[in-house]
Amino acid sequence: MINIAIKNKVISTKVFSEPDDWKLLEPQKGKINIPGTFFHGSKWTLYFNCISCGKETKFGVYYKSPEYIAGGELHYDTFNNKEFLNVFGKLFELDLIDKGVDVNNFTIFYYQIKNNVVWLDYFKCNHCNVQYLMTYSTQSGEERPPKPDLVHIKGIYQVEFDEEEFFKLYNKYKVNP
């Protein structure tokens, strides 16, 4: 399949969450240890010192973030190959849900953090281009009374892998919306 080596882990990050129109009414700034949880907002950005070059790098998790390279849910509906999903599940020691098929005969196979589907994002240091993979999940807050959505980060990992091979498999197994 693909060989991904974890070189190191980010242990803490600064977080900036922008307000949304309903649940998170003011910007949120703070620092969390990883694994850690924070308020989602309309979009959120992480700031941490790159493990390789030591310079502050950022990763924005929002639509059209310039740092985002690739990602998706570790779910069979997103990547239709269990072996590809298992690469990340085993590498990051994620909890697997495999319940066969649902009432519509769709496969239920995904990895989770805190009972929510795991997201995997790929990005690089803004300065030295070292590779990072991040695993996290989102949890919807209450509607009444409104409570902000949460993000649970399991890990941000400095990794090393063949990017060409990764994208060959990523594009092969990614289910187009």
Backbone region of residue 171 per phi and psi (left: phi > 0; alpha: psi in -120 to 50; beta: other values)? alpha
The pTM of the whole model exceeds 0.75 = yes
- What does pLDDT average to over the chain? 88
Domain layout of the chain by residue ranges: 5-173
Which residues in the chain land under pLDDT 50? none
pLDDT tens by residue, 140-151: 877 666 678 889
Distance, in Å, from the CA atom of 145 to the CA atom of 20, rounded to the nearest integer, reads 15
- Classify residue 75 by its DSSP letter: B
What's the one-letter identity of residue 85?
Answer: L
* Displacement of CA 56 from its chain's centroid (Å): 19
